[in-house]
Amino acid sequence: MTQHEVILEFLETKNWVCTSKFYAAYIADPRTRLCELKKKGYLLESRKCESHDYHNGHSKEWKLIGWVGKESKPESKPEAQMIQSSLKI
């Protein structure tokens, strides 16, 4: 599974996802992966993390709001759900 697929599995819940979840899933530079997803046509929204107090406002949360890519939207792979649930994040 690619890092893009892992991020999309988190974001497909349509809820806000803290960047710390991406780090916990061993994505070393989630900002770069998120930027790459934007270039592929995914519409992402960000805000200061409101889920955790320990960030002191220095981390972001992300939300998937749509898709505008020229290609057809890639489908989620079933094994991605198994990996996400095994991370217990």
Question: pLDDT (tens digit, 9 = 90+) per residue, 45-63?
Answer: 999 988 877 766 678 999 9
For residue 13, the enclosing domain spans 3-87
Joined together, the tokens standing for residue 58 give 């220095």
pLDDT at residue 16 in the model? 95
pLDDT at residue 79 in the model? 40
32 DSSP assignment: H
Amino acid, res. 27: I
Joined together, the tokens standing for residue 16 give 């806000």
Number of structural domains in the chain: 1
pLDDT < 50: residue spans in the chain: 77-89
pLDDT at residue 78 in the model? 41
CB 22, CB 60: distance < 8 Å: no
Distance of CA 40 to the CA centre of its chain: 14
Q: Residue 66: exposed, middle, or buried by beta-carbon count in 10 A (0-12, 13-18, 19+)? A: exposed
* Alpha-carbon span 11 to 9, nearest angstrom: 6
pLDDT at residue 38 in the model? 94
Q: What is the pTM of this model?
A: 0.72
